[in-house]
């Protein structure tokens, strides 16, 4: 099907934004996206028009929400006083098209436990190995195999050796522990979804291997708490250099996480853009 859009939406920027790890570039303007046990091919056909490999029904039930298409990102950008914060203004110009995906909570939790102290390429690799090892094998619309992200039961059933074979290193017991905590109900994903922002952070950090940074990423990308503000080495750097007198968290609420994402993408120097002609 075709999807016409007028708000921010740049697949390349989203793919490289460090929030998702199962987007694979398959052509200049086309990505293969695995999420919620499905596989979607999405391509920039021309400005304002995507071509999607799914039908209307799957789009409405899955991908519309996944892409957060009910949120107005241009409006979120326009809240910023460009003269007062020229650095963020530049970051937004470069990152126009980024959206915060509504990803599966469990997958997001595991992904960001895996993410600690690793670069994005290595995170992708581990998640793919994990899915191959114990995720359900499926066939996409082009006949290629993909693997659904494994549930807590499948991951809990793996040995530490299995997990280390996915390149998890010392994070293996963290991933295993999270799976067991969810299975046992000690970490209730449904309760997390209904918790306040502060409660969600606190509950997530009860898991071993989940500190404030990972909990913030899970809040932002898995619970869609758009005010969550993950601070990694890149963000720490920009706070010290571009905002030596403090960062205006209060003024930027309740979208601190969205602005953080522009800053992150800007610092990492991603420059993927859809066709403009």
The b/e string for 240-251 (b: 16+ C-beta within 10 A; e otherwise) is eebeeeebbeee
Name the one residue in this structure whose structure tokens are 């990694």.
Answer: 232
Nearest CB to DNA, comparing residues 67 and 215: 215
Query: Is 243 a residue that touches DNA (CB under 7 A)?
Result: no
Query: Is 210 a residue that touches DNA (CB under 7 A)?
Result: yes
Question: Residue 87 to residues 82, 83, 246, 257, 260: CA-CA distances in angstroms?
Answer: 8, 9, 13, 16, 12
Could you tell me the smallest distance in angstroms from the CB atom of residue 210 to DNA? 6
Instruction: Give all strands of the β-sheet with 30-35 in edge-to-edge order.
Output: 2-4, 49-52, 38-46, 30-35, 23-27
Applying CB under 7 A, the span of 11-19, 38-46, 101-109, 137-145 interacting with DNA comes to 11-19
Query: Is 215 a residue that touches DNA (CB under 7 A)?
Result: yes
Query: Is 232 a residue that touches DNA (CB under 7 A)?
Result: yes
Question: Residue 228 to residues 16, 120, 184, 201: CA-CA distances in angstroms?
Answer: 20, 20, 27, 9
The only residue of 82, 142, 144, 208 in contact with DNA, by rule CB under 7 A: 208
3-class state of residue 268 by DSSP: helix
Concatenating the DSSP letter of every residue in 47-111 gives: TTEEEESS-HHHIIIIIHHHTTTTS-HHHHHHTS-TTT-HHHHHHHHHHTT-------HHHHHHH
Applying CB under 7 A, the span of 58-66, 67-75, 190-198, 211-219 interacting with DNA comes to 211-219
Could you tell me the smallest distance in angstroms from the CB atom of residue 165 to DNA? 8
Nearest CB to DNA, comparing residues 54 and 187: 187
The only residue of 96, 132, 213, 273 in contact with DNA, by rule CB under 7 A: 213
Nearest CB to DNA, comparing residues 33 and 52: 33
Query: Is 115 a residue that touches DNA (CB under 7 A)?
Result: yes
Query: Is 234 a residue that touches DNA (CB under 7 A)?
Result: yes
Peptide bond before residue 227 is cis, with ω within 30 degrees of 0: no
The only residue of 10, 11, 14, 18 in contact with DNA, by rule CB under 7 A: 18
- Active-site option among 96, 193, 208, 213: 213
**C-alpha–C-alpha distance, residues 74 and 226, integer Å:** 15
The only residue of 17, 103, 108, 219 in contact with DNA, by rule CB under 7 A: 17
The only residue of 47, 48, 211, 254 in contact with DNA, by rule CB under 7 A: 211
Applying CB under 7 A, the span of 89-97, 130-138, 146-154, 160-168 interacting with DNA comes to 160-168
3-class state of residue 2 by DSSP: strand
The b/e string for 168-177 (b: 16+ C-beta within 10 A; e otherwise) is beebbebbbb
How many residues bind DNA (CB under 7 A)? The answer is: 39
Query: Is 125 a residue that touches DNA (CB under 7 A)?
Result: yes
Active site includes 193?
no
| Catalytic machinery residues | 213
Contact set with DNA (CB under 7 A): 17-19, 112, 115-123, 125, 164, 167-170, 207-215, 217, 230-235, 260-261, 264, 268
């Amino acid at each position: 099907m075709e999807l016409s859009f007028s708000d921010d939406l740049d697949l390349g920027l989203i793919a490289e934004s460090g929030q998702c790890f199962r987007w694979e570039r398959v052509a200049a303007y086309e990505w293969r996206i695995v999420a919620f046990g499905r596989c979607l091919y999405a391509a920039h056909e021309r400005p304002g028009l995507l071509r999607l490999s799914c039908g209307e029904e799957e789009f409405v039930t899955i991908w519309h929400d996944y892409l957060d298409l009910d949120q107005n990102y241009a409006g979120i950008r326009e809240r910023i006083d460009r003269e007062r914060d020229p650095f963020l203004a530049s970051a937004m110009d470069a990152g126009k098209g980024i959206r915060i995906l509504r990803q599966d909570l469990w997958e997001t939790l595991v992904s960001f436990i895996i993410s600690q102290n690793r670069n994005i390429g290595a995170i992708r690799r581990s998640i793919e190995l994990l899915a191959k090892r114990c995720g359900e094998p499926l066939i996409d619309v082009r006949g290629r195999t993909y693997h659904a992200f494994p549930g807590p039961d499948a991951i809990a059933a793996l040995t530490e050796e299995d997990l280390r074979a996915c390149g998890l290193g010392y994070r293996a017991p963290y991933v295993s522990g999270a799976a067991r905590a969810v299975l046992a109900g000690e970490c209730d994903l449904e309760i997390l979804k209904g918790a306040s922002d502060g409660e969600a952070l606190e509950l997530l950090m009860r898991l071993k291997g989940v500190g404030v940074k990972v909990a913030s990423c899970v809040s932002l990308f898995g619970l869609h708490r758009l005010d969550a503000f993950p601070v990694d080495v890149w963000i720490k750097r920009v706070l010290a250099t571009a905002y030596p007198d403090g960062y205006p968290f209060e003024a930027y609420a309740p979208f601190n996480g969205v602005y953080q994402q522009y800053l992150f993408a800007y610092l990492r120097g991603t420059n993927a853009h859809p066709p403009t002609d």
